[in-house]
Structures are given as structure tokens and as C-alpha cells.
Amino acid sequence: MKTRYKLMLCIAIGGLLGLAYYYFIGCRSGACPITGNPVVATIYGAFVGFLICSGKSSKK
């Protein structure tokens, strides 16, 4: 059960980091496919958070 909560936490942190990347560094012209849209940047960040944490939890 703890692994599930850690995974959800990693997804949430990844999403927040993706949104922060869009806000502080992102593409202002809108031409960039990932960082030009806050929704896409958040989803991409959440997916990267999922990949990072799911790789760590499977090595137990």
C-alpha cells in the first residue's frame, strides 16, 4: 500500500515540476510541443515522475 502512495506522490510532484518548468522556462511563442502548453507540460512532468518512481519500486 505504501508503494501506491509513493507512486501517487511522485506523479503529483512530477506534474508540479512540469507546470513550474512551463511557467519559469517554457516556450513563450507557443511553438514548442511540450513546453508551449501548461496542460501538456503538466502531463509530461507527471509521466516522467511516474517513470522515475516505478523504476525504483520495481527494483525491490
Which amino acid belongs to residue 4?
R
> What is residue 27's DSSP assignment?
-
pLDDT at 13 over 80: yes
**How far, CA to CA in Å, does 24 sit from each of 13, 20, 35?**
16, 6, 10
How many C-beta neighbours within 10 Å does residue 3 have? 13
Indicate the pLDDT class of residue 35, thresholds 50, 70 and 90.
confident
Mean pLDDT in residue range 31-56: 90
Residue ranges per structural domain of the chain: 12-57
Closest CA to 41 of 60, 59, 14: 14
